[in-house]
Amino acid sequence: MKNIKVSGRLLEVPASPIRKLVPYATAAKKRGIKVYHLNIGDPDIKTPEVMIDVLKNWKDNPIAYGQSQGQPKFLESLVGYYKKLGYSFVESKNIQVTTGGSEAISMALFAVCAPGEEVITFEPYYANYNSYSKINGVKIVPVLTKGETGFHLPDRKVIEKKIGKKTKAILICNPSNPTGTVYTKEEMEMLVSICVKNNLFLISDEVYREFVYDGKKYFSILEYMKKYPDKMILLDSLSKRYSLCGARLGMIVSLNKDLTDGVLRMAQGRLSSGYVDQAMAEKLTEVDDSYFKAVHREYQTRRDLLYKGLKSIPGVYLEKPEGAFYTIVKLPVKDSEDFCQWLLEKFSYKNGTVMVAPAAGFYGTPGMGKNEVRIAYVLNVQDLEKAIEIIAHALVEYNRK
């Protein structure tokens, strides 16, 4: 009897560099070691109480399907949110609720590309773009950005050189996961201009919109959406903004009707996003501004601490991240994946160790990022200080091997 094989494309879906070392972390915890999780953007910040109260006061039964586009009240809340940001042109009909920002990215790639077509993005980029592109038969074409320039964009020519017949879109994450870069007005206008000139979609993943530090000004794709309604696609999510990672809710916002009609048909296939999650999320209009201010202050403090702490470790290189809560850090190691695994398997300091994500999985070009890691500063200041101390000691011991 012959054994049947799964498809080649399944075998090619990459493991998440953020999650593939989880078994080593689990084993370390079993040995009684405290693992400081800097590998994943899963914040310790509290979800707003007004959302948790929805659960505590739950009345509905049964837990029924929602609308495929999103629950009407949740859509209304989102319209209110974008209006408050100054984009009152966004209507309910321009929004498709997705099951996490993940589904928004995946649907957008499917929507803009035929199989084999290409999307340009800037490496290092959010690692899961590799899974979504593989799953949707889309080719990611990376344009390199460098730590030395804070991972800001290269010259227009460098980007345009990558545009070919199969290119359908440029995809950015702004503020950037994994680099913490916040694109300037000039950069945004350059990207818009490239997309207009070359007839491409501009897809902007803005799930960290509120996480911009040092009073830097932020330019959303929404600034350009009315002028270029066919080309601009916003991807968004509540996960980080309201510390709602486990409530799988994101959204696609676009004025391109073929696009929103199409993703609604895709959404009908999977029926609806979570009913309870949306009931919680519709309270977003009731979240007080003081919540965001406190969260913002907390992250800026963490960022400052992390930057100062890491910079003081010999051989470690990073630029000060401008937004989000990640940074790509160069370490004095040859193979950061080996180092990350060693941290979990072999090392501990004061009975603790650190889990960070090897950066190679955030690059599209093979061989890049080998001596880098992505760090998510999602822990409180005390834990972050301990984690930095552990990294400092670990590098000394690792390099003595």
Backbone dihedral region for residue 97 (phi beyond 0: left; psi -120 to 50: alpha; all else: beta): beta
224 lies in the site for a second copy, by CB under 8 A: no
CB of 332 to a second copy, least distance (A): 29
Q: Which of 160, 189, 275, 345 binds a second copy (CB under 8 A)?
A: 275
CB of 128 to a second copy, least distance (A): 5
Per CB under 8 A, contacts with a second copy among 297-356 are none
Residue the block writes with tokens 């296939």: 269
Question: Could you tell me if 182 and 148 are in contact, meaning their C-beta atoms sit under 8 angstroms apart?
Answer: no
The dihedrals phi and psi of 123, each to the nearest 5 degrees, come to -95, 145
Q: Which of 33, 45, 50, 85 binds a second copy (CB under 8 A)?
A: 45
CB of 58 to a second copy, least distance (A): 4
Q: Give the binding range for a second copy (CB under 8 A) out of 4-12, 27-35, 327-335, 386-394.
A: 4-12
Q: What is the DSSP letter of 201?
A: E
Bridge partners of 328, per DSSP, are 374
Q: Which of 200, 235, 253, 390 binds a second copy (CB under 8 A)?
A: 200
256 lies in the site for a second copy, by CB under 8 A: yes
29 lies in the site for a second copy, by CB under 8 A: no
Per CB under 8 A, contacts with a second copy among 127-166 are 128, 131-132, 135, 137
268 lies in the site for a second copy, by CB under 8 A: yes
Give the residue among 41, 22, 21, 35 at the shortest CA–CA distance from 326.
41
Q: Which of 123, 205, 210, 277 binds a second copy (CB under 8 A)?
A: 277
Q: Give the binding range for a second copy (CB under 8 A) out of 18-26, 284-292, 310-318, 319-327.
A: 18-26
For a second copy, which is the closer residue by CB, 254 or 348? 254
Q: Give the binding range for a second copy (CB under 8 A) out of 149-157, 195-203, 212-220, 363-371.
A: 195-203
Per CB under 8 A, contacts with a second copy among 233-252 are 243-248
204 lies in the site for a second copy, by CB under 8 A: no
Show the tokens assigned to 6. 């799964």
Q: Which of 21, 23, 24, 46 binds a second copy (CB under 8 A)?
A: 46
Q: How many CB atoms lie within 10 A of CB 202?
A: 22
42 lies in the site for a second copy, by CB under 8 A: yes
CB of 292 to a second copy, least distance (A): 15
292 lies in the site for a second copy, by CB under 8 A: no
Orientation of helix 336-345 relative to helix 22-30, angle to 10°: 20
199 lies in the site for a second copy, by CB under 8 A: yes
Distances (CA, A) of 78 to 165, 231, 280, 325: 36, 21, 13, 23
Distances (CA, A) of 238 to 70, 98, 281, 286: 14, 11, 8, 14
Compose the 350-379 pattern: x for residues touching a second copy by CB under 8 A, - for all others: ------------------------------
3 lies in the site for a second copy, by CB under 8 A: yes
CB of 188 to a second copy, least distance (A): 18
For residue 334, give every residue at least 6 positions away whose Cβ sits within 8 Å of its Cβ, in sequence order, or none.
370, 371
Torsion sign (Cα): 150, 369, 238, 91: positive
Give the residue among 343, 399, 333, 395 at the shortest CA–CA distance from 370.
333
27 lies in the site for a second copy, by CB under 8 A: no
What is the rounded distance in angstroms from the CA atom of residue 36 to the CA atom of residue 344? 10
Binding-site size, a second copy (CB under 8 A):
89
Per CB under 8 A, contacts with a second copy among 49-108 are 49, 51-52, 55-58, 61-68, 99-100, 102-103, 106
Torsion sign (Cα): 36, 39, 40, 45: positive
For a second copy, which is the closer residue by CB, 117 or 236? 117
Question: Could you tell me if 127 and 298 are in contact, meaning their C-beta atoms sit under 8 angstroms apart?
Answer: no
End-to-end Cα spacing for the chain: 49
